[in-house]
Chains A and B, each alone.
Chain A
Amino acid sequence: MTPLLDRKLVFVTGKGGTGKTTVASALALLAASQGKKVLICEGDGKGELAGYYEAPPTAFKEKEVQPGLFAMTMDTESSMREYLKLQLHIPIVGRIGPVAKAFDFLATAAPGVREILTVGKLCFEVRDGEWDMVIVDAPATGHIIGQLAAPQAVNGLVKVGLIRTQTDWMLEMLSDPAITGLMAVCTPEEMPVTETIELAERVRLETTVELAAVVVNRVLPELFGRNEEAVFDALSAPGPLAAIDGLVDGDAGPVLEAARLAVTMRRTRSTHLERLRQGIDPAVPLLYLPYLFARSHGLRTTKQVAGSLGEELGF
């Protein structure tokens, strides 16, 4: 399988709340630190991406947020304006007005039209831009299939016309595993794991894109080795616990209780991890990222995650 960082177009998806944007922004930072010229595109326009680099708000026109790393926010209207200008040589100055409205309407009516403008812009950047790598903070698992399958959907509906010719080259690019890959982010919890396994199956059946990696985010540390757990249990018994209370001159109960919680949480999660391993094609690499006990999220944590991701990828 083509290594993740050797691909030119990587879509990052994941169930809501699993840290999709964190991982996408860290992957971009990692690629840039490897000397690549990287474009990261925020796909669902929530305007959060800039925060991960502590940079000013991003826009459709890309801006450098870290050395060698540029960020942009997808916006269908701007994408269409660019498309009309570059492909059809219809320069539209000022407000697109009625034409935009009409297309917006069409896009609502005809599934795939809006998505094709997004995917089209990304493919265009890969083909004609100066980037070594384009990373997409893509829609969540529930919506990613619609985006990745948009060229086929449109191909199925549109038999002739400009869009048809263009979906052909987009499809070719998306279907080439040496160029394009999908990275799915999940956490070792019940629903995220279930969704990821289902996603892998749907990606295989409904799209031509290859699942390039699954990131397991927020993996809790293993506190104890086998013998150590017996020691911990013995320490938690009333006698030894009272002894600790005396030695530290305070109540050690909560401290041991917290460790008990951490151990049980990890145990519950490891059964989900096992299910993930069983449910995903063994050829797809699983990358593990540790739970971050961080004060807040910003550039510092993005760098930490990029570091962990780099270790997992063998840098």
Chain B
Amino acid sequence: MASRTPRSTDAKAHSEVASPTMDSLLATKEIVVACGPGGVGKTTTAAASALMAAINHGSKVLVLTVDPAKRLANALGLDGIGNTEHRVPDSAFKAAGVKPRGELWAAMLDTKESWDSLIRQHAPDEQTRDEILANPLYQNIAGRFVQSHDYIAMERLYEIHSAGEYDLIVVDTPPTRNALDFLDAPERLADFFSSRLLRWLIVPYRSKLINVATKPFYQISDRILGTDFMGDISEFFILFQTMYDGFVERSKAVGRLLSDRRTTFVVVSTLEATPLREAEFFAEQLTERKLHLGAIVLNKVLPDYLQGRAGTRVAEVMKDRAEDLAAELSPGLAKSAKSAKAAKDLGDPIQIARVLTEVADSYLNFQVVALREMEERASLAVAPDVLATVPFFDTDIYDLSGLLRLGAQIWS
């Protein structure tokens, strides 16, 4: 079975026992949170990491994704499955030519469904439960409220982890305005429900006693939002208060889990300036909050051969002397053709010169980007345990074979 695993793994394990790799990171942690700016390949990185762990470590691994691409969801058997955890079938592994030592499970995050199940769990009785589920404010919060996304992702993670079904959970984080939102979400929610303001808001609709300090606030709110709406809000909170203790307790536990040493964070980025700055900021914040920065994965990195100065010279010669080169190459190309017509096309010196120029220009163009990327990478200000780079794949990653290619890159 070992021969089925990527070859580099064993070689690495013997030569560098001490320095951590993605392999050792995933072997020792229970929760891996993949985070970073949007559009950098967080979902595929999370899925590839989980896949590699399932294949190599013989463990039961869950990847909890937020919004996977359709073809990837299909490949993981997630299509139309939603919130429930689902085992990736053996046939998918067979198609990719591997036999996993462990099991790979996958689940998608359905915000609305997760909120509903949370309410069902915490509601003190059936009547309160039904009233909350039917409240227009609740429906809005569960469906649209931006932060509710962040919170529920962490909440689901906690729930699954507590159930103890998996050796490793790899979680993909929702795209946020600010990559930090989901870290703060549990605490913010706890603050929210324990706020003094909440009591202010509820009091006047229970008793008509309004003190001098809070009176202006109600007057302004009533004028702007209308008394009915204020009534709706307070009704919602009165209902929610019955679940207050459960909620606050829970969000604190979620916060503790994130800072637990069994949890690590993998920051994903590309070498484009804007996402990289964001990723860097995020990595710094993790360290500041004493959360474990396990790895930085740099995706879509252009190949090394684009950086070579020798290549620059060759490209420049090809461009400057395109016509001479074309004249020299023409007879040989014509000879390689399979028919007389093809020989005429292939041997056309004007066409050859044009192709050589295009090829050279394209190299020089991509080199500008590759050199910029190299500089960005060199100036990276944070030092994670593991720094992995993944080359630009010329095709999309949409099945287990694709994930394996990516996985092999970050593994060693």
Contacts and interface: CB of A to CB of B under 8 A. Distances in A.
A99 B217 contact: yes
B311 interface: yes
B330 to A, nearest CB: 10
A148 B360 CA distance: 47
Given A157-B229, A223-B362, A231-B345, A248 B396 contact: no
Given A102-B200, A162-B223, A252 B175 contact: no
B303 interface: yes
B310 A192 contact: no
A89 B65 CA distance: 48
A239 B332 contact: yes
B160 interface: no
Contacts of B325: 244, 247-248
B314 interface: yes
Contacts of B220: 84, 88, 90, 99
Nearest to A256: B359
Contact of A250 (B144, B274, B314): B314
A149 B143 CA distance: 13
A18 B346 CA distance: 39
Interface string A212-250: 000000000101100110111011010110011001111
B358 A240 contact: no
A252 B314 contact: yes
Contact of B368 (A98, A256, A294): A294
B242 to A, nearest CB: 16
B272 interface: yes
Contacts of B306: 254, 258
Given A157-B136, A240-B336, A250-B310, A234 B346 contact: yes
Interface in B342-393: 342, 345-346, 348, 351-352, 354-356, 358-360, 362-363, 365-369, 372, 392
B314 A243 contact: no
Interface in B158-187: 174-175, 177-178
Given A235-B333, A247-B325, A254-B363, A223 B342 contact: no
A287 B364 CA distance: 26
B38 A16 contact: yes
B139 to A, nearest CB: 10
A153 B217 CA distance: 23
Contacts of B97: none
Contact of B359 (A234, A251, A259): A259
A111 B144 contact: yes
A255 B368 contact: no
A156 B136 contact: yes
Given A15-B39, A258-B362, A250 B317 contact: yes
Majority secondary structure, A binding face: helix
A106 B233 contact: yes
A293 B366 contact: yes
A98 to B, nearest CB: 7
A62 interface: no
A239 to B, nearest CB: 7
What's the interface size class on A, roughly? 35 or more
Contact of A224 (B275, B328, B333, B358): B358
Contact of A231 (B144, B311, B346): B346
B195 interface: yes
Contacts of A294: 368-369
Interface in A83-138: 84, 88, 90, 98-99, 101-102, 105-106, 108-113
A190 interface: yes
User: At the interface, is chain B mostly helix, strand, loop or mixed?
Assistant: helix
Interface in B295-343: 303, 305-306, 308, 310-311, 313-315, 317-318, 321, 324-325, 328-329, 332-333, 336-337, 342
Interface string A156-175: 11111111100000000000
B37 interface: yes
B354 A293 contact: no
Contacts of B270: 17
B38 A259 contact: no
A146 B143 CA distance: 10
B216 interface: yes
Question: Which one of A139, A189, A231 has the highest number of Cβ atoms from chain B below 10 Å of its Cβ?
Answer: A231
Interface in A253-269: 253-259, 261-262, 264-265, 268
Contact of B360 (A108, A156, A255, A295): A255
A111 B148 CA distance: 11
Contact of B140 (A21, A111, A143, A224): A111
B224 A140 contact: no
Contact of A264 (B305, B311, B395): B395
A44 interface: yes
B265 interface: no
A313 interface: no
A293 B178 CA distance: 28
B363 A293 contact: no
Closest 5 pairs between A and B when the two form their complex, measured CB to CB = A16-B38, A17-B39, A161-B226, A264-B394, A254-B305
Given A139-B177, A297-B274, 15 more contacts: A98-B217, A105-B195, A111-B145, A157-B229, A158-B225, A161-B225, A190-B71, A223-B358, A231-B351, A240-B332, A247-B325, A248-B317, A250-B317, A255-B311, A296-B372
11 contacts: A98-B217, A108-B147, A111-B145, A145-B144, A158-B225, A221-B362, A228-B354, A247-B325, A254-B308, A258-B303, A293-B365
Interface of A: 15-18, 21, 44, 46, 48, 84, 88, 90, 98-99, 101-102, 105-106, 108-113, 139-140, 142-143, 145-146, 149, 153, 156-164, 189-192, 194, 221, 223-224, 227-228, 230-232, 234-235, 237, 239-240, 243-244, 247-259, 261-262, 264-265, 268, 293-297
